[in-house]
Amino acid sequence: MSLRLLSVVLAFLLDVLFGDPQWFPHPVRGIGAFIQLLEPPLRRLRNHRLAGVLLLFLVLAATCIPVALLLWLVRGASFAVQLAVNAFLLWTTFATRDLVDHCVPIYRALANGDLEAARRLLARIVSRQTAYLPEGEVARGCVESLAENLVDGSISPLFYALLGGPVAAFAFKAASTLDSMVGYRTERYLHFGWASARFDDVLNYVPARLTYLALPAATLFTGNRAARCLHVMRADGLKNPSPNSGIPEAGVAGALGIALGGPSIYQGVTIEKPRLNESAAPPRPRDIVRAVRLVWTTAVLFLLCGVGAALAGNAALGWVRASRLDRTAANGLSGSHRIAASTRFLRTGAAQ
């Protein structure tokens, strides 16, 4: 197995075991601080859309260049050192455990009858108002957050880690952080955050559509209805204004047999979110646990399939190269025979 594949597997295991320790100076926090530092001076430009493009370029460069430089510095080190550095870098881009760690306490609070605590915990991961939500709405907000972030926090980082290693994974993480900070359709960020939002949409496009395969498969392994999962994904997945987040959300709704979407209050304004799997029952607290299990299973299956596809691709590429070498050697050998035959013919003619 190659360095990249081993690094991805090891990084995923680190995420499973340790998640995102609060004491650790996570690179995403540094990216966020850099974005906040750049925003005021860039806003002095009259063209806010151009300023947003510059912000995207500067943040990507400031994120990827140090990662590439660090990998270049250790390129001559032992395999173990390179593996440790690559795995550590990738670990900081994976967030499956972090998604789960924010949702499980909400379930525990609801299970213990502490609705106030559940509301406070939910407010940490959603932007909707949570102060007066009933139990079912708290469960809905939690499941929706988990489902919406499945691609952005789990599938896409794995996809880019497998595709391009730490540099590609960090490029995606920078784009994701930009989108979460400036990619809003508000008056303040409509133009300034346009480039970041569109770039994030592009990067998540393929991983989101790979969930058409991964989520139904995970649904089978968790004892839910794969056919219903796929049906709701196809029927409701593109109702969301986002071209990507609605697909996994619809898949989770179909897999668990629950309805998601509906009215939510944001800064005092009621927003009607697209309704997914509308004919099903509303979520209950236990559906949070089912959603967590589904997310973990989806991530593991995606990792295994990605590693398997990479190994198969490497094997096929090796076979093609070996075949070409064999043909080249055979052609070279036959050419040598022709030259030897011509030489013998010329010598015979000269002797006569």
Please give the full DSSP string across 93-149, using - where no structure is assigned. Answer: T--HHHHHHHHHHHHHHHHTT-HHHHHHHHHTT-SS--TT--HHHHHHHHHHHHHHH
- Torsion angle, alpha carbons of 224, 205, 49, 64, to 10: 100
At residue 350, the pLDDT reads: 47
Which 8-state DSSP code applies to residue 282? P
At residue 27, the pLDDT reads: 87
- Whether the per-residue pLDDT at 115 is higher than 60: the answer is yes
The average pLDDT across 326-338 equals 65
Rounded to an integer, what distance in angstroms lies between the CA atom of residue 148 and that of residue 240?
10
The average pLDDT across 175-194 equals 93
Query: Do the beta carbons of residue 173 and residue 157 sit within 8 Å?
Result: yes
| 314 — pLDDT class (breaks 50, 70, 90) | confident
- Whether the per-residue pLDDT at 340 is higher than 70: the answer is no
- Whether the per-residue pLDDT at 268 is higher than 90: the answer is no
| 38 — pLDDT class (breaks 50, 70, 90) | very high
At residue 60, the pLDDT reads: 98
Percent of the chain with pLDDT over 90: 82
The average pLDDT across 271-290 equals 95
pLDDT mean across residues, the chain: 92
At residue 316, the pLDDT reads: 86
The predicted-structure confidence for 43-97, as pLDDT tens digits, reads as follows 999 999 999 999 999 999 999 999 999 999 999 999 999 999 999 999 999 999 9
Q: How far is CA 80 from CA 6, 10, 76, 165, in A?
A: 11, 12, 11, 16
At residue 313, the pLDDT reads: 86
The average pLDDT across 216-240 equals 95
For 122, list phi and psi in degrees, rounded to 5: -65, -35
Q: Which of 9-18, 187-196, 284-293, 337-346 is predicted least confidently?
A: 337-346
At residue 326, the pLDDT reads: 72
Percent of the chain with pLDDT over 70: 93
- Whether the per-residue pLDDT at 276 is higher than 90: the answer is yes
The average pLDDT across 239-255 equals 94
At residue 318, the pLDDT reads: 81
Residue 280 CB partners (closer than 8 Å, separation 6+): 253, 257, 258, 259
Give the pTM: 0.90
SS3 content of the chain, % helix, strand, coil (to 5): 75, 5, 20
| 267 — pLDDT class (breaks 50, 70, 90) | confident
At residue 338, the pLDDT reads: 57
Rounded to an integer, what distance in angstroms lies between the CA atom of residue 283 and that of residue 105?
17
